[in-house]
Amino acid sequence: MDYFLSEEQEMIVETARQIADERIIPARAELDEKHEFPRAILNEMARADLFAVPIPEEYGGFGGGCIDNVLALEQLGRGCVGVGTAFAANILGIYPIMIAGSDEMKNRYLPDVATGKKFAAFGLTEANAGSDASGIRTTAVLDGDEWVINGTKQWITNGGEAQIYTVVAITDRSRGPRGASMFVIEEGDPGFTCGPKEKKMGIRASSTTELIFKDCRIPKDRLIGRAGTGFITVMKTLDSSRPGIAALGLGLAQGALDEAASYAKQRIQFGKPIISFQAVQHLLADMAIQLEAARALVYGAARHIDAHPKDMSKVSSMCKVYATDMAMKVTTDAVQVMGGYGFMCEYPVEKMMRDAKILQIYEGTNQIQRNVIGQELNKEYARN
Amino acid sequence: MKIIVCVKQVPDAKDVRLDPITNTLAREGVQSIMNPYDQHALEEAVRLKDELGAEVVVLTMGPPQAGEVLRQAIACGADHGVLVSDRAFAGADTWATSYTLAQAVNTLGGADLILCGKQAIDGDTAQVGPGLAMRLDIPFVTCVQKVREADASGLVVERMMDDGYDVVAVDYPALLTVVKDLNIPRVPSLKGKMRAKKAVLQTLSAADVGADPALIGLAGSPTQVVRVFPPEPRGERTVLSGTLDEQVSELARRLSAYL
């Protein structure tokens, strides 16, 4: 379908597609098998200016919106969701700075991220604070001109690979959600270390570690925005980033459909290609219908979000839920179309099915997204 | 330092068909690309530019639509594109082409280094690079697989041979033709693509390069193509699949039928 992309948007798609086809797809099976971080591929993306897409022009970026980021991530996700996740988490890591940081802070960090010289990560989740962010135990205490941070963040994407970490810590426990603040932690800050890489079911090319703070001291000016605005910044960050996860789902499902359909054309059973059997055609047709419906929703949501609407959270959650549930379904059906071959590691669809699962979990589980949508509906209908 | 990269627009080899009547390449509806070897020459030029600081000029001879490959080269980091285009160049063989390119290089004030792909994938002659160097009376090294050292006065390169490689030191001005082992061409950047879209290409005609009409195009081409024909098919072939062991046992089974 024609989504009426601008010339610049076509360029973004073409660039990301070339990187997916020429760099990511030939490497993805090995990266997955070895749990290897795709440093060389990310360097190539940086050189091609993909990191600059969402960064404002005054900080060396392209000033692209949610839709531009979605277009890039869709292509990267078609290549490998592990690699796409490393890319997406970098942007997630700088959203708090772009949303709430001072001009001085933006000047200090954003140009280096736009060129790929520095890489970012976002630290919210802890052992007892996943869906329930009020369980955060990490604290930050002002001591003279320095903040002193203590606590441990868990399952942080790009942990150990990033140079810039935007992290949530409690600065005033008595104030509840209004007592959380966000900080920039840099690689090498005293008292800050990353744990070992976690072993995962999927997205193995991405790095996932703990962030450990033991009396970590950072300068006072690393506070993002004002103290107490941390949760608001987190919510705005996730509202901006979730369509990117939806886009990874689109790309992943497209890749799975491509594999399944071309296999079905070649695979001969009962003397005919299996795509000539109605049972297989219906599976493929349903995959294509769900994918295109999700794409229309994600692109529409991303363009809507770029207009900074009041119902941004709801729309962002809707597209994330729909596209990632779709990706799980479509990748599972791609394995079904390919039968025993689909289950074998020689073919890419088993990895696609493993990679799909995380999309329903991270950046807010799909159950939490439904809570957000339900609560927004409750508010909307109370007004009428 | 100034580097000129010679590039050619060619039909994509993934998409080649022969016209069944004329037996020539069917160019209509076929995607055109920058000759793959030339992409490696361009990449090396841009790397030398990053390392040593240089102006990279990309030069092509062809019809107006060949400007597309110049824009592609600018997207990949070339500074400036020059299209040598004139109806009078039509039908040029490698002799006339190397003459025309030499005239263009001289018109552009020469270069410290000229980089060419080893050959174009349509004609496959590998003659234009060396021919151009001879016309310009500068040293050349063919089939360069690696640039070992580079500075403001010259290069040390590896020349691919059938049985290994030679290490060759060459001073500027010089011409190299390159093979694909040299580097991995970069993905063009978004900023590069935007620059390419706006770039103003320089166009040179036969008169602009001061070409002698008797030495260009069909008139200047001693090569006569007498006949073009597809080779006879070599009989039926089968490609075995499966693991190595499976392939070997299948091969043994088929051969045993002849014992």
What residues of chain A lie within 8 A of the CB of B77, using their CB?
none
* Nearest Cα residue in chain B from A19: B187
Cβ contact, residue pair A48, B194, below 8 Å: no
Largest CA distance in chain A: 80
How far is the alpha carbon of B74 from chain A, nearest alpha carbon, in Å?
13
Q: With a cut of 70, which residues of chain A have pLDDT below it?
A: 384
Which residues touch A54 (CB under 8 Å, ≥6 apart)?
A: A61, A62, A64, A65, A68, A69, A91, A98
Classify residue B151: in a domain, yes or no. Answer: yes
Residue B217 domain-assigned (yes or no): yes
Annotated active-site residue A363? The verdict is yes
Sign of CA dihedral A34, A39, A40, A44: positive
Give the pair of three-digit tokens for residue A80: 């490998």
Whether the pLDDT of residue B230 is over 80: the answer is no
Task: Report CA dihedral (B15, B21, B23, B28) to the nearest 10 degrees.
Answer: -30
Which pLDDT score, from 0 to 100, does residue A384 have? 67
Rounded to a whole number of angstroms, the distance between the first and last alpha carbons of chain A is 36
Neighbours of A198 (CB within 10 A): 16
Residue B258 within a domain? no
Q: How far apart are CA A181 and CA A222, in angstroms?
A: 11
CA distances to A255, A362, B246 from A268, rounded to whole Å, are: 22, 39, 20
Minimal Cα–Cα distance from A68 to chain B, Å? Answer: 12
Asked if B187's CB is within 8 angstroms of A15's CB, the reply is: yes
B240 part of a folded domain? no
Contacts with A22 from chain B: Cβ below 8 Å = 187
Q: What structural domains does chain A harbor?
A: 7-119 (1.10.540.10), 121-228 (2.40.110.10), 231-383 (1.20.140.10)
Q: Which residues pair with A166 in a beta bridge?
A: A122, A184
Q: What is the pLDDT of residue A238?
A: 95
Residue A101's Cβ-side half-sphere holds a number of Cα atoms within 13 Å equal to 22
**Per residue in B95-152, pLDDT tens?**
999 999 999 999 999 999 999 999 998 888 999 999 999 999 999 999 999 999 999 9
**Tell me, what's the pLDDT at A305?**
96
Report H helices in chain A.
Answer: 7-19, 25-34, 39-47, 66-79, 81-100, 103-114, 230-266, 278-305, 312-343, 349-359, 366-383
- Residue B189 counted as domain residue: yes
Does a structural domain hold residue B241?
Answer: no
Q: In the prediction, which pLDDT does B28 show?
A: 72
Full residue range of the structural domain in which residue B16 is found: 2-228
Test B186 with A53 for CB contact under 8 angstroms: no
Across the interface, do B187 and A23 touch by the CB < 8 Å criterion? yes
Does residue B143 form part of some domain?
A: yes
Number of domains in chain B: 1
Cis, peptide link before residue B64, omega less than 30° from 0: no
pLDDT at A102: 97
Residue of chain B whose alpha carbon sits nearest to that of A48: B189
CA distances from B245 to B237, B239, B248 (A): 20, 15, 5
Distance from C-alpha of A333 to C-alpha of A287, rounded to nearest angstrom: 8
Is some CB atom of chain B closer than 8 A to the CB atom of A8? yes
| Chain B CB contacts of A23 below 8 Å | 187
| pLDDT tens per residue across span A317-338 | 999 999 999 999 999 999 999 9
Q: Which helix (H) or strand (E) holds A219?
A: strand A208-219
**Coil, strand or helix at A189:** coil
Set A126, A210, A259, A363: catalytic member? A363
> Looking at residue A288, what is its pLDDT?
98
CATH code at position B155: 3.40.50.620
How confident is the prediction for chain B on average, in pLDDT? 92
- Test A53 with B190 for CB contact under 8 angstroms: yes
Give the burial class of B182: count Cβ atoms within 10 A of its Cβ; 0-12 exposed, 13-18 middle, 19 or more buried. Answer: buried
For tokens 């589980």, the residue is: A365
Given a contact cutoff of 8 angstroms between Cβ atoms, the answer to whether B67 and B13 are in contact is no
Tens of pLDDT, residues B35-78: 999 999 999 999 999 999 999 999 999 999 999 999 999 999 99
Q: Could you tell me how many residues make up chain B? A: 259
Nearest 5°: the CA angle B72, B75, B80 is: 85
Q: What is the DSSP string of A232-270?
A: HHHHHHHHHHHHHHHHHHHHHHHHHHHHHHHHHHH-EET
Q: What is the ipTM of this complex?
A: 0.88
Closest-CA residue to A251 (of A74, A80, A25): A74
- Contact assignment for B190 to A49 by CB distance below 8 Å: yes
Tokens of A3: 């989504």
Contacts of B186 in chain A (CB under 8 A): 44, 47-48
